[in-house]
Amino acid sequence: MDPLTVFNDEEQMLYDAVYEYAESAIKPLRMQMDAEQKMAPQLIKDFFDNGYMGIEIPDEYGGLGAGFFSAILVIEALSRVDASCGVLVDVHNTLVNNAITNWASDELKAKYFPQLAANKLGAYCLSEPASGSDAFALKMAAKDMGDHFLLNGTKLWITNGLEAEIFIVFANIDASKGYRGITAFVVEGDMPGFTRGKKEDKLGIRASSTVELSFENVKVPRSNVLGEVGKGYKVAIETLNEGRIGIGAQMVGLARGALDEATAYVKERVQFGQSISKFQAVQHELARMEAEWESARLLVYNAARLKEAGRSFIREAAIAKLKSSEMAEFVTSKSLELFGGYGYVKEYPAEKYYRDAKIGKIYEGTSFMQLNTIAKIMLG
């Protein structure tokens, strides 16, 4: 079936083109990348060459100059084949590029947008060993030296950390001010004192690098402050609100991939003299999966459309991430079960989709944090 029923022709063409690319270029490599825990360098080059890394970057800087909804479609289409590729493109676009779009000076945009559109991967550095859901408890320090800052500390769980060359980094210039001391910086990966540490050995999205980063007297020019000094907490909150819609798209994409695989399999699998797709119990399982997927997809699209239209979307983004991650866990689990014993082995894709789905409830704001956000808005 064609799951794309709510797009205009241009959006349909974009999704189809990205999905066709993913099927031809990513699918043959996904299990090897998963086993080796490494993104194929050629794919990252492809993502840049295809324009996937500069979707919302204005065309004068080498980007596509498209809207947020286009970014969501690209993330979904890639994730339908491999969620690791989806999240690599997601973080680069919805977190890094959007942070620069909304908060950077014209000089910073002119300096970094051409690089982010052409060949330099971005990463977003907020979490720390003792600062996860309580993001504003971060300990990384930035010392004001006049024309520059010295950054010292450690960042943890950094997606794209191994391959990235441009980093949005959050540090506190005055711990006595609490979250009002937090400041956002643009840091380059070759700045002295910056080092990449442990690469995490993860359950899912294994081709996506998740790395510890260390900063020891990293000298960052004052001109590389993103937004205003002491206003980094606003950069973080507003950017993550957008990023959660991207995670929703990742979950919708990977769930669609798992459902497609399960649907094809039950048509082929014969038991008791007939295809198991003929059994009503199997049909009902597929129907429930389809209904849950469609519901979550429309929540994600609604949040993305609201964001693109400049309307309030924080509640809708939280709901979209909450429900899409729950849906993805449900759909991929049922898909694995429909494969039977074959679903539990790596020869078939069901177990990978299942492993990849779990992170959706955890990163870019846990499900508990989404519930908090929804409740606070409900209660005024």
The angle at the Cα of 121, spanning 115 to 125, to the nearest 5 degrees, equals 115
Contact of 64 with 55, CB cutoff 8 Å: yes
What does R_g of the chain's alpha carbons equal in angstroms?
21
Place of tokens 């956000």: 373
Residue 216 bears catalytic tag: no
Which residue is catalytic, options 56, 128, 292, 364? Answer: 364
If we measure between CA atoms, which residue out of 213, 257, 244 comes closest to residue 356?
257
* H or E element that contains 257: helix 232-268
Q: What is the DSSP string of 343-370?
A: GGSTTSTHHHHHHHHGGGGTTTS-HHHH
Looking only at Cα atoms, what is the longest distance across the chain? Answer: 79
CA distances from 341 to 262, 336, 356 (A): 13, 9, 19
Amino acid code (one letter) for 359: I
Contact of 33 with 207, CB cutoff 8 Å: yes
Q: How far apart are CA 154 and CA 165, in angstroms?
A: 17
Q: Which residues pair with 123 in a beta bridge?
A: 167
Place of tokens 């129907």: 287
The pair of structure tokens assigned to 156 is 């943890």
Active site amino acids: 364
